Amino acid sequence: MQTSAYAAESELVLLSKSKQFIAKDNQVQRFSDTIALSKGQEKLRLILVYRNGSATQPSFKWIRISSSSMSYVTEQQFKGKKVLETEVTGGLGTGGNQILITAGGPVGAVFSWELYTFQPRANSVSPLTIQPGGTTTISGENLCSNVSANTVTINGAPAHCVSATATSITVQVPEELSSGQAIIKVGSAGLDAGELACSVNSAPKLSRLSGTWVPAGSPLTIYGEGFGTDPSKIVVFIGPTQVPVDSSSPKEITVTIPGSYITAWAGFYMPVKVSVNGVSASNTLTVSCAVTAPTSGIAY
């Protein structure tokens, strides 16, 4: 439910509301209530709405409201009004916030309050292509500056919140993510801030080779994961030489050992290094390349 003074600024979200306080007689009425906030909501922009009377019930003739942290509300402020809106950003803490209401009016007069904040929204993510173990920043509005009160998941995996302000949240990308499209879900101070789409570019992993010794000019298959199906995005080095990629699948890469390895003992235990989309594999393997197979005395 929006209020007239703030409706044009943004969509408001109801955080808490009171019961109706009802005058049981014509004497001065004294009520006590507590405004409770969830973790992180004390950091949000907060609007407190007091309602004196309703469409079917009478108003109090005068009302005073006091609090240990918020501004005092006098009967002059309420005079002639059924609704009084006041911004209380920074005036409430976590847990309970007591308010004391003193009022006078006819039997059956009613009073209540409602606490609102502005809808948090995640608007964009940068970089748009993220890497496991790296960081990414979510930009938005009406977010919570309490780091521990924000929740972010990427394809369901929790992302650790590193820093936060009212307009951005920076998180560490979970290590276990695989390459592909991903959905970032953002929660701020217990409120849903929406979803964003991004891409994950994870580091490929090497598991084994089709052989530990391969003759020059012969094919070599590299097994692992995270390779993708586009050979043009894959770079393979064997020793100091970049070798052509003949084909690829998410779990296999086939290359051809260059014919330049022509000396019988020239290319032993050479590192096999792979990068996909500019991201290097998290490990390397070794292969020996020569014209003829090694004889005894060489261990693999």
Would you say residue 12 has pLDDT above 80? yes
pTM value? 0.76
Q: Is the pLDDT of residue 254 over 60?
A: yes
Asked if residue 292 has pLDDT above 70, the reply is no
| The pLDDT value given to residue 232 | 92
For residues 221 and 230, the model is more confident at 221
Distance CA 47, CA 151 (A): 24
Distance (Å, whole) CA 123 – CA 128? 12
Q: What are phi and psi of 233, to 5 degrees?
A: -95, 5
CATH superfamily of 12-118: Galactose-binding domain-like (2.60.120.260)
The architecture that CATH gives domain 205-290 is Sandwich (2.60)
Residue 291 has pLDDT above 80, yes or no: no
What are the residue ranges of CATH 2.60.120.260 in the chain? 12-118
**Element containing residue 78 per DSSP (H, E):** helix 75-78
> Average pLDDT for residues 3-8, to the nearest whole number?
54
The answer, yes or no, to whether residue 297 has pLDDT greater than 80, is: no
**262-283, pLDDT tens digit by residue?**
554 457 888 999 999 888 998 9
Delimiting residues of CATH 2.60.40.10 domain(s) in the chain: 121-200, 205-290
pLDDT at 300: 37
For residue 179, the Cα-to-chain-centroid distance in whole angstroms is: 18
Residue 146, pLDDT > 70, answer yes
The CATH superfamily label for domain 121-200 reads Immunoglobulins (2.60.40.10)
Alpha helices in 93-141 (DSSP H): none
Instruction: Tell me how far apart the alpha carbons of residues 248 and 118 are, in angstroms, rounded to a whole number.
Output: 49
